[in-house]
Structure 1
Amino acid sequence: MSTTTADASGAPAPAAPTAFRPPNLALTTIGLALASFMQVLDITIANVSLPTIAGNLGASSNQATWVITSFAVSNAIALPLTGYMTRRFGERKLFIWATFAFVIASLLCGLASSMGFLVAARALQGFVAGPMYPVTQALLISIYPPAKRGQAIALLAMVTVVAPICGPILGGWITDNYSWEWIFFINVPIGIFASVVVANQLRGRPEKLETPKMDYVGLITLIIGVGALQTVLDLGNEEDWFESTKIVWLSIAAVLGLAVFLIWELTEKDPIVNLRLFRHRNFAFGTMAMVLGYSAFFAVGLLVPLWLQRNLGYTPIWAGFATAPIGVLPVLLTPLVGKYATRFDLRILATFAFMVMAFTSFIRSGFNLDVDFQHVAMVQLWQGLGVALFFMPVLTILLSDLEPHEIAAGSGLATFVRTLGGSFAASLTTWAWNQRSTIHHAQLTEHIPAHDPAMQQTVAALGNGDMQRGAMMLNQMISQQATQIGFNEIFHLLGILFLLVIAFVWMARPPFAAKVGGAASGGH
């Protein structure tokens, strides 16, 4: 069992005092928010730069995808360790060192001269980024008075939404106007500022520290299970899923690793990941709502830019501009949501949010190849209304019945399963879109009378007399229509999923106010 530093007898130390306030609350908030923005931004900022990075480092496009995968795998492994690390080192110290390590890792990424070095640096960057978001959430809750904690959670919710949207736009602009290295170098001044500010402002903040036993079995099975699962999700489409021996063996490793991990963690007295947090009703159902809602939201954020580029011929930067309006209303409404949301039943706000997101998904299910930029951007704008009312209420609900010392661990665990949900969504929706497109292409082709003189005349006209060219153009048109039908079907299903999430929201029970505290470090 754990022993505390406060009592020689081995009895648990009393809860840390909760009255600590930093000298400058606004400056502390800026420092914490900037660190989280930087970390969440780096999940997507490299996406549009991959072709340039691959070209500069002499790598293939397949090898370049490991710039994304290595970050995601190590980040997913580190997230559940947040509870253990906060108990061992304390939230303030963990935040400072994780942010500073993120700066070093970003510097190494920018200095990389080979793809192997860059992938290793990105893996390090992803690992040290793991605790940053949940620890930031726990610190914000602890330094704000209870009446204003909703505003703190709303601020982080805005970061979660806006940063991934800014990533591709900012990454494309930096790569086009400067060089790809600067998408990593910009983290250096931001990270140093954030770590210095938080270190100074939170000096003297009381924390309960423990010296927990290292759960090596849990750690090893976590690395094997999550690492293999994340790799399967990232490489599944490329490797044709279970037609590939590599995917089959990785899947077996993931299932066995995660099965042993779950059994061990539920029976271990001092687990590295505290799965017993799911005994709390609101945490369990709130996390389910968060995972499913975020997965559907993540799928929207992935599919719309891909569709704009594949079907409508948008450039990456213009696809970014068309999707960016989703961040407008969350930015404008966050202060209001944070201030007034707790006056309402948060389940009603979350229900409205999911209804808006379902409605916009159903609108997209009716899109065609002639839809214009303004219409796409307007639907994105209205979805932002749902996003503005989604994250803060659901985050508040899932944290509401945790004990103060469980908040960091609970936030880390919820962020971990949310991240895995997003990975599942990315792989499953792109796979489903490709599959449905292939099926519809075959169905549409079946209805074309190839030997009909009128059809042959049409094909010849398409190719300006060249039948082969005309057939290629006709096939391209059929492919576009097939992918559009597949896109519409996926969004119809996403709309239904958003509506189903509402059931989990209503399984939670008030009150939803966060418990006083949060200074401790994620015990059992």
Structure 2
Amino acid sequence: MSEKHIDHPPLQGAKLAIGAVAVSLATFMNVLDTSIANVSIPTISGNLGVSSDQGTWVITSFAVSNAIALPLTGWLSQRLGQVRLFLGATVLFVIASWLCGAAPNLPFLLLARVLQGAVAGPMIPLSQSLLLAAFPRSKSSLALSLWSMTTLVAPVAGPILGGWISDNYTWPWIFYVNIPVGVLAVVGTWLIFRDRESATHKLPIDKLGLVLLVIWVGALQIMLDKGKDLDWFSSPIIIALAVTSAVAFVYFVAWELTDRHPIVDLSLFKNRNFSAATVALSTGYGLYFANIVLLPLWLQEFVNYRATDAGLVLAPAGLVAVLLTPFTGKLVGRIDPRILATVSLLSFAVCFFWRAGYTSDVDPWSLVAPTLIQGVGLATFFVPLLSIGYAGLPPSRIAAASGLFNFLRILCGGIGTSIFQTAWDHRSILHHAQLNEVTTDYNPTFQQFTHQVQLAGNNREQAYGVFNHVLDQQAALLGVDDLFYLSAILFVALIALLWIARRPGHGGGGDASATASGAH
């Protein structure tokens, strides 16, 4: 049975404010959980008596189930209703967070993380739909601004908060912090949105598509997670996972393009704006996410920064983004969003070109200044690209489009992180070999360095060890500089994609707003 379609009017005043805060809290809690556990893996592994390699499954289990659940958003929202699905997912997320914190062993924790990731899937795309439908069409860009602020700040806040909690309390609290936030989000959402349910329709589920999706995403995510440890394609396990993922992906695409009720609507890519914006946003986010993992790692391992301090280096970007994003929402309605997105990509490029010149004695200002520029890029990243991507889509396809958008964004974040960590290792090894060529008795710099170390009370072998440590630091620096430089070039190249898309209609996000409200 389906409900009668009702076009709900926009919210106003206090109801609009409470509804926006409630939905944003749920989104923040969700996105925060993608990164808050990263810095706590050694602590969790030690407490549960497992290796760090096994501990990484705490991240992978969440990522796999989250990525798989995201494309299901369109089908689930039509079957259950957007408000019911969002509330149910948020309640289950809170319960799963409690189970994670209470886990007595690793298998229990992994099961809880799988549940947490699965129910987290629909929350982000539905938060977009609910916000866009709650705001008047003329302020739809402001709604997208509020949504993007939560997705910008949470990845930066996650490592800082996770490190601080692990250092000062116990690791379960990285999950328990979700409980009060989730309760507030559930209560606020129920009070404001309970009478604004969307129409529901009984649709058959694409069982084969779902199975193929689970296989290719699961195999790909495990391959990315374990590739570095198993030396990538030197391992038969990695080769088997790669072949499994590739074959399942080909069958998945072929099936989804021909099925009457596909679980993932790949025909969305026939829309030029959606295709261009999706590729630009997913690739750009993948580069950004890979770098916010890479920079703190380099600072901790080779510049002797504490985990909390390394996370704090990234904090100014989130602060700048929060301050500027509301203005971006207003500008999208007045300026071609392709221009704003170009400003974003150029800001990222400038940031990474600057970082590509880092030296081993980099000072705090040189670390923070590019981060401020990155904040400008973040503030003008999501809103214009979402406005471009959603422009012209029919009302019934907004939830599916949003689910696919966010699925590819998260997937590219994982792919980018794995590729960059492997590339950093390879570039560091290459630079170490090149630098090591000067380690001869005929090089006066090498002779002087080892002589000075020996004068400090070390023998010849110890002096060589100190010199090799310096080479390790320089090689890691040159490797990370290479990746910063590559990131800058790729951000510049992405600009071309923006101008393949057509300019959205006047009001920027108006089309997206109409689409969202039409789904009700």
**TM-score range normalised by the length of the shorter chain:** over 0.9
Amino acid paired to 2:406: T
Deviation, structure 1 residue 455: 4.1
**Could you tell me which residue of structure 1 aligns to residue 389 of structure 2?**
398
Q: How does 1:389-428 map to 2 (within 5 A)?
A: 389-428=380-419
2:343 and 2:325 map into 1 onto residues whose CA distance is: 16
**Could you tell me which residue of structure 1 aligns to residue 359 of structure 2?**
368
Contact 1:18-1:517 within 8 A present in 2 as well: no
3-state DSSP of counterpart to 1:518? helix
Contact 2:348-2:377 within 8 A present in 1 as well: yes
Q: TM-score, length-normalised on structure 2?
A: 0.95
3-state DSSP of counterpart to 2:36? coil
1:243-273: CA deviation from partner (whole Å, max 9, x where unpaired): 1111111111111111111100000011111
Amino acid paired to 2:487: L
Gaps of 5+ in 2: none
Amino acid paired to 2:510: A
**Could you tell me which residue of structure 2 aligns to residue 242 of structure 1?**
233
**Could you tell me which residue of structure 2 aligns to residue 292 of structure 1?**
283
**Could you tell me which residue of structure 1 aligns to residue 219 of structure 2?**
228
1:307-345: CA deviation from partner (whole Å, max 9, x where unpaired): 111221101001011121111111111222222321101
**Could you tell me which residue of structure 2 aligns to residue 459 of structure 1?**
450
3-state DSSP of counterpart to 1:5? coil
- Answer yes or no: is 1:486 the counterpart of 2:473: no
1:456 and 1:344 map into 2 onto residues whose CA distance is: 61
**Could you tell me which residue of structure 1 aligns to residue 181 of structure 2?**
190
Most deviating of 338-347 and 122-131:
338-347
* Structure-2 change in CA distance of 1:155 and 1:452 (3 Å): closer
Contact 1:142-1:518 within 8 A present in 2 as well: yes
2:117 and 2:444 map into 1 onto residues whose CA distance is: 60
Contact 2:212-2:252 within 8 A present in 1 as well: yes
Contact 1:460-1:466 within 8 A present in 2 as well: no
Contact 1:209-1:521 within 8 A present in 2 as well: no
**Could you tell me which residue of structure 2 aligns to residue 445 of structure 1?**
436
**Could you tell me which residue of structure 2 aligns to residue 433 of structure 1?**
424
1:145 and 1:209 map into 2 onto residues whose CA distance is: 23
**Could you tell me which residue of structure 2 aligns to residue 343 of structure 1?**
334
- Answer yes or no: is 1:471 the counterpart of 2:471: no
Query: Structure 1 residue aligned with 2:310, among 303, 308, 319?
Result: 319
- Answer yes or no: is 1:211 the counterpart of 2:202: yes
3-state DSSP of counterpart to 1:116? helix
Contact 1:90-1:521 within 8 A present in 2 as well: no
2:478 and 2:410 map into 1 onto residues whose CA distance is: 28
Deviation, structure 1 residue 504: 0.8
- Answer yes or no: is 1:5 the counterpart of 2:2: yes
2:443 and 2:139 map into 1 onto residues whose CA distance is: 72
2:288 and 2:448 map into 1 onto residues whose CA distance is: 45
2:336 and 2:472 map into 1 onto residues whose CA distance is: 47
**Could you tell me which residue of structure 2 aligns to residue 21 of structure 1?**
11
Q: CA RMSD in A?
A: 1.7
Contact 1:17-1:206 within 8 A present in 2 as well: no
1:36 and 1:455 map into 2 onto residues whose CA distance is: 54
* Structure-2 change in CA distance of 1:461 and 1:198 (3 Å): same
Contact 1:399-1:514 within 8 A present in 2 as well: no
Amino acid paired to 1:17: D
Q: How does 1:96-245 map to 2 (within 5 A)?
A: 96-245=87-236
**Could you tell me which residue of structure 1 aligns to residue 269 of structure 2?**
278
**Could you tell me which residue of structure 2 aligns to residue 67 of structure 1?**
58
Deviation, structure 1 residue 448: 2.2
Gaps of 5+ in 1: 7-12
Query: Structure 2 residue aligned with 1:304, among 295, 299, 324?
Result: 295
1:451 and 1:513 map into 2 onto residues whose CA distance is: 66
**Could you tell me which residue of structure 2 aligns to residue 87 of structure 1?**
78
Deviation, structure 1 residue 24: 0.6
Contact 2:431-2:479 within 8 A present in 1 as well: yes
1:216 and 1:458 map into 2 onto residues whose CA distance is: 66
Contact 1:90-1:520 within 8 A present in 2 as well: no
1:359-389: CA deviation from partner (whole Å, max 9, x where unpaired): 1110111110111112201211121011111
Contact 2:424-2:476 within 8 A present in 1 as well: yes
Deviation, structure 1 residue 54: 1.1
Deviation, structure 1 residue 476: 0.7
Deviation, structure 1 residue 460: 4.3
- Answer yes or no: is 1:514 the counterpart of 2:510: yes
Deviation, structure 1 residue 517: 4.4
Contact 1:433-1:483 within 8 A present in 2 as well: yes
Contact 2:438-2:446 within 8 A present in 1 as well: no
Deviation, structure 1 residue 179: 1.2
Pairs aligned (count):
512
Most deviating of 452-461 and 148-157:
452-461
Query: Structure 2 residue aligned with 1:504, among 494, 497, 506?
Result: 497
3-state DSSP of counterpart to 1:481? helix
**Could you tell me which residue of structure 1 aligns to residue 28 of structure 2?**
37
1:86-108: CA deviation from partner (whole Å, max 9, x where unpaired): 11111100000000000010000
**Could you tell me which residue of structure 2 aligns to residue 10 of structure 1?**
none
Query: Structure 1 residue aligned with 2:347, among 344, 349, 356?
Result: 356
Query: Structure 2 residue aligned with 1:382, among 354, 360, 373?
Result: 373
Contact 2:138-2:510 within 8 A present in 1 as well: no
Deviation, structure 1 residue 459: 2.0
2:349 and 2:155 map into 1 onto residues whose CA distance is: 21
2:445 and 2:87 map into 1 onto residues whose CA distance is: 72
- Answer yes or no: is 1:51 the counterpart of 2:49: no
* Structure-2 change in CA distance of 1:467 and 1:417 (3 Å): same
Contact 2:81-2:197 within 8 A present in 1 as well: no
Deviation, structure 1 residue 457: 5.8
* Structure-2 change in CA distance of 1:208 and 1:472 (3 Å): same
* Structure-2 change in CA distance of 1:513 and 1:187 (3 Å): closer
3-state DSSP of counterpart to 1:343? coil
3-state DSSP of counterpart to 1:170? helix
Amino acid paired to 1:19: P
Contact 1:355-1:386 within 8 A present in 2 as well: yes
**Could you tell me which residue of structure 2 aligns to residue 9 of structure 1?**
none
